[in-house]
Amino acid sequence: MLVIYLGALFVVGGVLFMLAQSLWQGRLSVPRRISSEIPGATLEPGNPTAGLGLKRNWPGLVLVLLGWVLLLVGGFL
């Protein structure tokens, strides 16, 4: 039973780690003035996936994968 709880903890911890990484990235868009001279000017970021790459989130993915394996092993025990 301990293996299942540990696996669930790793999955939740990995997801929270990946969430925190994208939130700590900072603002995704820079506030700009919308003028009538620039048609279609929005506050949408130029690179909206800046905090969602594998390079930044690999530890969280490893935790989720390890938790998944522990849950699978705990289910067979």
26-51 residue pLDDT tens: 655 555 555 555 555 666 655 555 55
1-11 residue pLDDT tens: 999 999 999 99
Pair 8, 72: CB distance under 8 Å:
no
What is the SS3 assignment for 7? helix
Q: What pLDDT score does 28 carry?
A: 53
What is the SS3 assignment for 27? coil
Residue 65's CB is within 10 A of a number of other CB atoms, namely 13
Residue 14: name the closest of 56, 53, 58 by CA.
58
